[in-house]
Structure formats: structure tokens, C-alpha cells
Chain A
Amino acid sequence: TQLLEQSPQFLSIQEGENLTVYCNSSSVFSSLQWYRQEPGEGPVLLVTVVTGGEVKKLKRLTFQFGDARKDSSLHITAAQTGDTGLYLCAGVGGAQKLVFGQGTRLTINP
């Protein structure tokens, strides 16, 4: 069974600080996707990483896929209150299914 563990599960920091969220597994994934989910809504895609060692940037968000394609990280620089939300990582396992982590609930305080 493929599992993805996210850490931390909860993170509360002040506006302007930097943070990193981790997504780890003992399994290899062919790709990994990061989503953001608001309460009562569906996951909204942020980025897909495919190649081991790949780094993608989305404004203040930096996503990295581990060399062995077993782990990933999301780094936010100079966090803003608008970054508050639930961040999910999901790996492509099996034929097509996504295996989700349990999420990191991020709170940015003004």
C-alpha cells in the first residue's frame, strides 16, 4: 500500500515568515501533485512535478520533487494571509489513481 505522509499537519506562523511543508513516502511515484483545498470545495491544482530533482516555482511558492521521486516539499517565502488554507500532496500510484497525504493546514497570522 502506497502512503504519503505530510508534515507538519498544522502550521501557524506570522505574515512575512518562510515555511516548508514536507511530503514523504517509502514508495516511488511517477509524478506528484500539490493541491490547495478550501473548506467545502474540491482540491485546486497548484503544480505537478514529474522528474526526480525537479524544482518548480509559482511566485512565492517553490516545489521540489526528490531525486528518488519518493518525497516532495513546498516552500513558501514571505507568507501572506492569503496563503492560509489546506495544502495537499498527491502521488500518482497504480495505473492512474492519486494517493493523497492527510494535508497540512496552514494559518498565516497578520
Chain B
Amino acid sequence: EPEVTQTPSHQVTQMGQEVILRCVPISNHLYFYWYRQILGQKVEFLVSFYNNEISEKSEIFDDQFSVERPDGSNFTLKIRSTKLEDSAMYFCASSEFRGTDTQYFGPGTRLTVL
């Protein structure tokens, strides 16, 4: 069964460093998403991406964040200068269509900023 994959599973970085989180969405899906979940809190939407551009972003997704689909399979989230409060699980998701279509989640990357 097709699934969303994410690497690395755990990333530890120093405050102020740049990190890139990688995702491989399900191959025939067209819409891609990033969410984050701070320990003990709700899953929060960060950004959606379609046709090589951002469709929607939340207020969390400020200038330190960027997303890219560098080739036909990968979807990345870059955090330019990490802060302690960026420590969280980051989930990638994809869906075949927009709107009511179901989103399938990857296993997540646990980011720890020291």
C-alpha cells in the first residue's frame, strides 16, 4: 500500500542552525502539506502546496520557513534559523485532490532544537 515517507526520523540541531526535513508523498498525489505537533499539543497546520507554489499557510509559517519540491518525488520543509520553540514533531501529508479529499500522513520527523 502506498505511503508517505519522511526522513530523518529524528533531527537534533543547535539553535540558529538551518534544518531541512524531507518527505516523499504518495506518487499520484498532487497536494502536499506540512503540519507540526508540539509535545502534548494539537496537530497544527503549517502550509499546503500545489503546482509548485504555496496554496495556503498559517500564521506559524513565517519567513524562517520555506517549502520546495526540488524534483518529482521529494517535498521539503526548510527552517532557516531554528529556535527552541521549533522543537516538535513535523508531519508531511499528501492528498490526491483538494477540498474534501483525504490527507495521508507520514510517520513524522522529531526535531529537537538545543
Q: Which interface class (under 10, 10 to 19, 20 to 34, 35 or more) fits A? A: 20 to 34
The dominant DSSP class at the B interface is strand
Whether a CB of chain B sits under 8 angstroms from the CB of A33 is yes
**Is B95 a contact partner of A96 (Cβ separation < 8 A)?**
yes
**Is B99 a contact partner of A97 (Cβ separation < 8 A)?**
no
Q: Which interface class (under 10, 10 to 19, 20 to 34, 35 or more) fits B? A: 20 to 34
Segment touching A, from B14-22, B62-70, B71-79, B105-113: B105-113
Residue of B nearest to A4 (CB): B42
Specify which of A41, A95, A98, A101 is in contact with B103 (CB 8 Å cutoff). A98
**Is A50 a contact partner of B100 (Cβ separation < 8 A)?**
yes
**Is A97 a contact partner of B48 (Cβ separation < 8 A)?**
yes
Residue of B nearest to A32 (CB): B100
**Is A102 a contact partner of B42 (Cβ separation < 8 A)?**
yes
Q: How far is the CA of A98 from the CA of B58 in the complex (A)?
A: 11
Residue of B nearest to A90 (CB): B43
**Is A33 a contact partner of B103 (Cβ separation < 8 A)?**
yes
**Is A97 a contact partner of B45 (Cβ separation < 8 A)?**
yes
**Is B48 a contact partner of A41 (Cβ separation < 8 A)?**
no
Q: How far is the CA of A97 from the CA of B101 in the complex (A)?
A: 11
Residues in A whose Cβ lies below 8 Å from that of B35: 98
**Is B91 a contact partner of A42 (Cβ separation < 8 A)?**
yes
**Is B105 a contact partner of A96 (Cβ separation < 8 A)?**
no
Q: List 8 A-B contacts (CB under 8 A).
A: A40-B110, A42-B105, A48-B100, A95-B56, A95-B98, A96-B103, A100-B42, A100-B44
Q: Which residues of B contact A (CB under 8 A)?
A: 4, 6, 31, 33, 35, 41-45, 48, 50, 55-56, 58, 89, 91, 93, 95, 98-100, 102-108, 110
